[in-house]
Amino acid sequence: MSIIIKVPDIGVDQAEVIEVLVKPMEKVNFEQGLIVVEGQKASIEIPCPKIGIVKDIYVKVGDHVKINSSILTLDPIQSDLKKKLKKQSINLKNKKIDSSNLFINNIKKKKQNKKSILVHSSPSIKRLCRKLKISIEEVKGTGRKSRILKEDVINYVESIKNNKIKKNKNNLKNNINFKETIFLSKIQNISSKIFSKNWIEIPHVTQFSKLDITKLENFRKKININYKKLGIKFTLLTFIIKAISINLLKFKKFNSILHDKKDRIIIKKDINIGVAVNTIDGVLVPVIKNVNKKTIKKISKELLYLSNKSRNNELQFNDMNQGSFTISNLGNCNVGQFTPIINFPEVAILGISRATIEPVWRNNNFIPRLLLPLSLSYDHRVINGVDGALFIENLDKNLKNFYKLLF
């Protein structure tokens, strides 16, 4: 009896099919992937709930599906497991019989071999072989009637040494030429397709700048002393997230998506900021919702919570959707400015590098200041250079008014 496999509740109203993983007449196992769908922020693989044979497939790449949309028809397989168990039991019996016969044959062969090997040598030569821990049967005799002489034993030992030296040299060569192959994880495979598509289809422009955060950093260290007892630690990223949320209220283009017809933009009402988190399996982007309505204390707690969920592979689909702006933070790495790739359908992304102390010319003197390198990438169809410059300029003002960011 055929059954229809449908799309389960994946946390979004609608998603696009980006990959079909099976073909008609193909056998699929329990929890084997059928299709991969992409929402606003992440991709998810929909598994098969039963074992069976694929009959008809109702979706293709590019289709939009929702809850209870039909994926394919499946002919379930019920008797496979029993057949396998019977075959395994029969195979085990046959193996036992075969193994007993093999054991008997091996004993017979060993007895025959022992009878057939006749070694001609003196007791002193046999004693020498025992001392050197070598098998006398392996030494070729050059004396009369293939009698083994002392010189034969010495030559045999030298040949073993030469073979070992050659093997060691070959092993060294093989180790030098050895190349390790590492397969990409599922997340990396899916992400690579999305990143490639975003890079090709979106006309990126990246602006680089450095902001003076000397006063902000001193303030951050002071308040962290007071909040340490409560188990709260404010990172520089929490201040930046809050400052960007204020920016997005003023510069609404940065909190928009480009319409499918490419002739208009849709301004988002909510300010939801995604933060790229590096994990063992690849980069994930959990989203902090309604950032403008939260205090920096609340943002700090939520950022820590989502980061831990990401690294423990516990993120749900709802944790990664509905984003309107993304931050890629490389502040913990010793790298300069970089070009972050926009997270479609968003139109902008901010890259953060490590802050460094640099000399700044003021009042006819060079003074040490802590400068934060930023990389702002944006979709040039929506945002122009002046918009980008004003966005960074206003972000600088927000970070300098750090007292306002606390509330």
Which domains, ranges and CATH numbers included, belong to the chain? 3-78 (2.40.50.100), 117-181 (4.10.320.10), 204-405 (3.30.559.10)
Rounded to whole angstroms, how far apart are CA atoms 241 and 244? Answer: 5
Residue 299 host element (H or E): helix 296-311
Q: What is the pLDDT of residue 114?
A: 45
Residue 230 host element (H or E): none
Cβ neighbours of residue 329 under 8 Å, at least 6 residues apart?
Answer: 237, 275, 276, 351, 352
pLDDT above 80 for 240: yes
pLDDT above 60 for 7: yes
Q: What is the pLDDT of residue 142?
A: 86
CA-wise closest residue to 372 among 391, 387, 394, 357: 357
**CA 269 to each of CA 61, 76, 273, 292, 393: distance values in angstroms, whole numbers, following the listed order:** 31, 46, 13, 11, 23
Burial of 288 from C-beta contacts in 10 A (0-12 / 13-18 / 19+): buried
Q: What is the pLDDT of residue 115?
A: 42
- Summarize pLDDT for 40-71 with one digit per residue, the tens: 656 688 889 889 999 999 999 889 999 899 99
How many beta carbons lie within 10 A of that of residue 73, not counting itself?
17
pLDDT above 80 for 363: yes
Residues with a catalytic annotation lie at 380
* Model pTM score: 0.59
- Summarize pLDDT for 169-197 with one digit per residue, the tens: 676 666 655 567 777 787 788 888 888 99
